[in-house]
Amino acid sequence: MTEPKRRLSPLERLYLLGVEGVTEVLLVRHAEQASDISGPVGDFRDPPLSERGREQARLVGEALSSTHLDAVFSSGLQRALKTAEAIAGHHRLDVQVIEDLREHETFRDLPDDQTALQALPRELLRGLQARLLAERSVDVYPYSESSYDFRKRALNAVEQAIASQRAERIAIVCHSGVINIYVSHIMKSSYDLIFGADHTSISVIAAGDGRRVVRSLNDAKHLQTPDGDLRTTV
């Protein structure tokens, strides 16, 4: 005779603890990119991984190698895709690309061969960076994707991955902006930026029962190695 299921407390239900049908979502930031933001904007839209980034990708893949994953999703940008492949390879999974998981399209409306400094004075760029830190909204940037459009596509892309299949656990490899937007949405914040996500850091979300719950943020302990600390943010 099987024992009756224990009745969950209201707090357990609120935080999706012990609730059936919950999917654990690992939001993984891509590894460090090799880019020069002073160069043409076309060059920093989709840069490859740096040498340090390739090592970060290897380490996060190893860190998740013993964690059961049902699916691995990624943006189509190569810094995310290469990181996702380093994770998926340990699980014999194909990476499923969702293009709308890409990073905020900063300076999207500038020509690819033009630099930000050619379009905007250096002092204005510094002022925009100061405003971004103070206001935490990507709307400070001219020639760029709006906060409204970015939030809409990023949220929909993450929800697409969650809804794509019934799963115990999935990994979504994307970008700091996307991770911030999704966590901000769960916390009912209007800010686009709420924390600094380290490269290959893992943030955990529980999804189920029509709700989303933040479990942990910015775990990058896999980058603290005997040979040194490989954590990077920018």
> What is the residue range of 58's domain?
21-105+145-229
pLDDT tens per residue, range 82-93 = 999 999 999 999
The mean per-residue pLDDT over the stretch 30-47 comes to: 84
Within a domain: 157:
yes
**What's the pLDDT band for 115 if we cut at 50, 70, 90?**
confident
Within a domain: 234:
no
- Partnered with residue 224 across adjacent β-strands are 229
Within a domain: 31:
yes
Q: What percent of the chain has pLDDT over 70?
A: 97
Q: Do residues 26 and 170 lie in contact, with contact meaning Cβ atoms separated by under 8 Å?
A: yes
Measured distance CA(163)–CA(156) in Å, rounded: 10
pLDDT tens per residue, range 129-146 = 999 999 999 999 999 999
Within a domain: 207:
yes
pLDDT tens per residue, range 168-205 = 999 999 999 999 999 999 999 999 999 999 999 999 99
pLDDT tens per residue, range 90-103 = 999 999 999 999 99
Centroid of chain to Cα 54? 17
| Domain count within the chain | 1
Range 132-135, long-range pairs (CB < 8 A, 24+ positions): 132/193
Within a domain: 2:
no
Measured distance CA(205)–CA(213) in Å, rounded: 6
What element of type H or E holds 168? none
Within a domain: 116:
no
Within a domain: 137:
no
Measured distance CA(177)–CA(86) in Å, rounded: 21
**Is 60 exceeded by the pLDDT of residue 1?**
no
Within a domain: 84:
yes
Q: What percent of the chain has pLDDT over 90?
A: 80
**What's the pLDDT band for 3 if we cut at 50, 70, 90?**
low
The CATH number of the domain where 89 resides is what? Answer: 3.40.50.1240
Give the DSSP letter of residue 64.
Answer: T
The mean per-residue pLDDT over the stretch 67-74 comes to: 98
Centroid of chain to Cα 67? 19
More confident residue, 165 or 133: 133
